[in-house]
Structure 1
Amino acid sequence: MMDVLVIADDLTGANGTAAAFANAGMRTVTTTVAQLTAVPDGFNTVVASTDARHAPPSRAKTLVEQAIQTAWPARLVCNRIDTTMRGNIGATTEAVRSTVESCSGERTICVVAPAWPQAGRVTVEGHQLLHGHRLELTEVARDVRSPVTRSDIAGIISQQANVKAAHVPLSVITLEDNSVRDHIAALIQDGANTLIVDALTDGHLTMAMRGCVDAAKLIDQHVRWVTSDPGPGSVAMAEALGLTATAPHPPVVVLCGSASALTRTQLNRLQSERDAWLIKAPTLADSITPDSAACAQVLGQLIDDALPGQVVGLATAFTAADVNPLPPGVSGEDVCTNLATALHMALADRQIGGLYVSGGDVTAAVFEQLDTTGFAVQTALEPLCVGGQLLGGPHTGLACVTKGGLVGDGASLIRAVDYLHTLQTR
């Protein structure tokens, strides 16, 4: 039996949720509903994409039902929805709940938690906000395929499904007693089958999901939980149910010497979509050359302070203003060597879970500084973006991705670190 089955409405969202579970210590794979039976054993979490965000509601509902029936049994089933509530939210939310209830023969309650606080999506008073604004007042109201004209989650669900929804407000979630547990237990006893939870932070999601699990212990009838959310809420529920691994994973380190516009886009997207801690490499006084000692200190502190599996690192440029021509007497080799030296110093007494290096010259300098004798190539993630393992030296076996600075698209770096997380959880 798998621990977690996630049914997502598109592949990009599936990969994002898969990365969240991988960061939580679970061996995770992304697939499609059609390929569910081909997934090999050994994965804690299976994320299947229906690609049905813009399909008719009846079609989206059928695909969710098929996915659960094909993969059953699972300890937790999650419905991965869009953070801005586009698509077939109501149809898929109720399909997950009712199908699991049918397959398990147990009373099943769905927790709808669309907040993704790190991405600026929060839930307040049962309404979904995008960077502080109601959805109908943002650009998603003008979405060509799935315009969102309201932000009240219960109302959005009711457009496609008849559920008995109840609200778990932030005022209850944030109390430091048993209020959230007791509040949820009362809602369950009153017959609610769908709970909509507020959240401004990941911590609020954690408290809400723990409250659900604790509330079920007060109910005479056994309760099975399912979730409908973009990912963070499902991870919090898996943690509350004791399904996630307890062993922390070391952080993934990004070292980027390329200053191209494409690379800057990739870095900024990684920071916004994966909560990466990336710092502009400190430089020598009156110079653009990285200061090896200062860079090593900063990088070492980032590694020490990182959350399990978090992405941290150094880059030479994040904006166009950071790009300057090399002054007389300074070579590109100095920049690369000093970055590589800083990495070598920072890793002298620290463990990391993976390494991403961008720029051919930086990669060569890193391999030299780390006493690498070879690179065991495992896969080409895309042209000139290669995944493998370092061979030789003190870091032999370390998972690594190398990429040219002028290749890929805006999401290439995200895909690379997701690949490293997948290797880390195997």
Structure 2
Amino acid sequence: MSLYSPVRQGRSSLVVIADDLSGAAECAAVLPGCRRILLDPAVPVRPGETPVIDLDSRRCSPAGAARLVTRAVRRHAPTGARLLKKADSLLRGRFAAETSALAAGASGLVVALAVPAAGRTVRDGVVRLHGVPLHHTDAWRAERAPVPRSVAEALGGARTTVVPLERVRAGAPRLALCLRSALAAGATAVCDAETDTDLDAVAEAALRLPPTVRMAGAGGLAAALGRLSGPAAPRTVTGPAPGEPRPVVVVVGTAHPGSVAQIAQLTRHGARHTALSAASLLGTADGGTRTASAPARPDRAPVTVLSIAGTGTVDRSAAPHLARALARTVARGLPEDADLVLTGGETARSVLDELAVTSLLPIGQVHPGAVHCRTADGRGVVTRPGGYGGPDSLLRMVDALRTGRGRAPQTPHPSDGGAP
């Protein structure tokens, strides 16, 4: 299909492909048409639905991640759906490999990585965190690779054209012409954006292009597409019968320093916290025989917090083993009526895999990045990327489960900014 073929805006359905569960949930919460987060890419997509599919590719090798994206593209592109690849706003994960696989066979790729609500913007093709270029922050402190200095560098040498703010703010019709020009020249269009209005313009311009043009972006672009899609019917989710609040188990799988303050807020409000030894957890991974120390009868406490002690001294390569071992420990002692708060996409996915959960029903946001969902059997689950939220983030997530509130207020909360 030519880049100049007449395509009516919004005519095609949307399929979102994510590399981790917290990112998938983040997109699902802001897309009014999304009714399912699929943890199994082979699950059939219903006609007319807007699925968000978690490929769980963050922990794969670059080649493995590319294969997963290629399979998803081959499965959904022939349906005529528009494809959005959820990317990490700080360029982590297998960004180059996955965007290359996404672009294969497409008539172009539009990239928009800003998440203004979390202080993540793009200017001159450089990702900025609260105004500071990414490579001048410590946001990649847990990564083994050097931090990319630009989106183009993160794309691994692919030909790119930066679409500057003045072009983005010239209006959707002019921006669409700019995108067409860049894509026709064989370049990936990397769009600057500092506000939600900028992202709305990018989304509207991208929708003026044929569905064979694909998009890669963070939750901010997904939210812009959601705003353009208009209101949808309220999500009807059947939950447990009213009664006493269910116990909540909070699993903190991130090594981010902000998690310490977040756990402290919960314990000050009566939560019981157990920090599990990384050494004992690693002894249970991949068929090990040792057993991690688990808290005594966590189901008897209204709120139990499990975290990993000493993560700062554990080699980064051990993180996947830690996530799986922590998930096994949680699944062994989890009561059937307990709800879950899961931070860190890898940890969240590992826990749900242990519980044989293959799909989630999104309910809404607790705060930006923190998403309230429900499993098919009625268990409440709130997920969140590891570094998001202020000191009261976990407290608000637990409160959403125990009070049944699934949607965040329309006005921003003072602590909603995402941490690196």
State whether structure 2 residue 1 is matched by structure 1 residue 6.
Answer: no
- Asked if 1:231 corresponds to 2:226, the answer is no
Aligned to 2:200: 206
- In structure 1, C-alpha distance between the alignment counterparts of 2:200 and 2:111, rounded to whole Å: 13
Corresponding residue for 2:339?
Answer: 382
Identify if the C-alpha distance between structure 1 residues 418 and 169 changes in structure 2 by more than 3 Å, giving closer, same or farther: farther
Structure 1 residues 81 and 383, CA gap change in structure 2 (3 angstroms): closer
Please name the residue that 1:117 is paired with.
116
What do you get for the CA RMSD once the two structures are aligned? Answer: 4.5
- Give, as a single letter, the amino acid of the residue that structure 1 aligns with 2:148: R
Deviation at 1:248, TM superposition (A): 7.2
Contact 1:227-1:233 within 8 A present in 2 as well: no
From 146, 150, 154, the equivalent of 2:148 is: 150
Verify the 8 A CA contact 2:109 2:183 in the aligned structure 1: no
Shift of 1:170: 0.3
Instruction: Measure the CA separation in 2 of the matches of 1:177 and 1:41.
Output: 31
1:187 to 160, 178, 182: 182
Q: 1:238, 1:176 → 2: CA distance?
A: 19
Matches within 5 A, 1:301-340: none
- Structure with greater helix percent: 1
Q: CA deviation at 1:28?
A: 2.7
* TM alignment of 1:236-275, pairs within 5 A: 236-237=224-225, 244-247=229-232
2:307 is matched with: none
Q: Quick check: 1:31–1:49 contact (8 Å CA) kept in 2?
A: yes
Matching residue of 1:92? 98
Count of residues in Structure 1 that have an aligned counterpart in Structure 2: 266
Given the two structures, how large is their TM-score scaled by the length of structure 1? 0.52
Q: Does residue 28 of structure 2 align to residue 18 of structure 1?
A: yes
Contact map agreement 1:86 1:146 (CA 8 A) in 2: no
Q: Is the 8 A contact 2:160 2:190 kept in 1?
A: yes
Matched to 2:203, the amino acid is M
Q: Structure 1 residues 40, 86: closer, same or farther in 2, change over 3 A?
A: closer
Q: Is the 8 A contact 1:26 1:45 kept in 2?
A: yes
Provide the C-alpha distance between the structure 1 equivalents of 2:401 and 2:183, rounded to a whole number of angstroms.
Answer: 40
SS in 2 for 1:84: coil
- 2:34 aligns with 27
CA contact (8 A) 1:135 1:148 kept: no
Cα shift at 1:163: 2.8
Q: Deviations over 1:369-398 (max 9, x none)?
A: xxxxxxxxxx956179xx9xxxxxxxxxxx
How much has 1:126 moved relative to structure 2?
0.5
2:83 corresponding residue in structure 1? 77
Deviations 1:386-416 (A, max 9, x none): x9xxxxxxxxxxx99999xxxx877445778
Residue in structure 1 matched with residue 328 of structure 2 by the alignment: none
Residue 5 of structure 1, CA deviation:
1.8
Distance 1:37 1:419, change over 3 A: farther
Q: What is aligned with 2:133?
A: 134
Distance 1:13 1:413 in 2: 22
What secondary structure is seen at the aligned counterpart in 1 of 2:88?
A: coil
**Where do 5+ consecutive residues of structure 2 fail to align?**
1-10, 236-247, 253-264, 270-301, 304-335, 342-360, 362-373, 382-393, 408-420
Contact 1:111–1:227, Cα closer than 8 Å, also in 2: yes
Distance 2:193 2:148 in 1: 18
Uncovered stretches (5+) of structure 1, i.e. residues with no partner: 102-106, 217-221, 251-261, 267-318, 324-358, 361-378, 388-398, 422-426
- Whole-angstrom CA distance in 2 between matches of 1:70 and 1:417: 40
Structure 1 segment 37-76 matched on structure 2, within 5 A: 37-39=42-44, 41=46, 44-72=49-77, 73-76=79-82
* Cα displacement (A) at 1:82: 1.0
Query: Is the 2:41–2:55 contact (alpha carbons within 8 Å) kept by the matching residues of 1?
Result: no
Offset at residue 174 of structure 1 (A): 1.4
Contact 2:81 2:211 in 1 (8 A): no
**Which amino acid in 2 is paired with 1:89?**
F
Could you tell me which residue of structure 2 aligns to residue 276 of structure 1?
A: none
Aligned 8 A contact 1:5 1:74 in 2: no
Structure exhibiting the larger radius of gyration computed from Cα positions:
1
**SS at the partner of 2:110?**
strand
Separation in 2 of the partners of 1:10 and 1:417? 27
Percent identity reads 21
Q: Per chain length, whose mean CA-contact separation is higher, i.e. which structure has more relative contact order (CA < 8 Å, sep 6+)?
A: 2
Rate the CA distance shift 1:40–1:94 in 2: closer, same or farther, 3 A: closer
Q: Per the alignment, do residues 401 and 88 of structure 1 end up closer, same or farther by CA in structure 2, a change over 3 Å counting?
A: closer
| Matched-pair contact (CA < 8 Å) for 2:172–2:202 | no
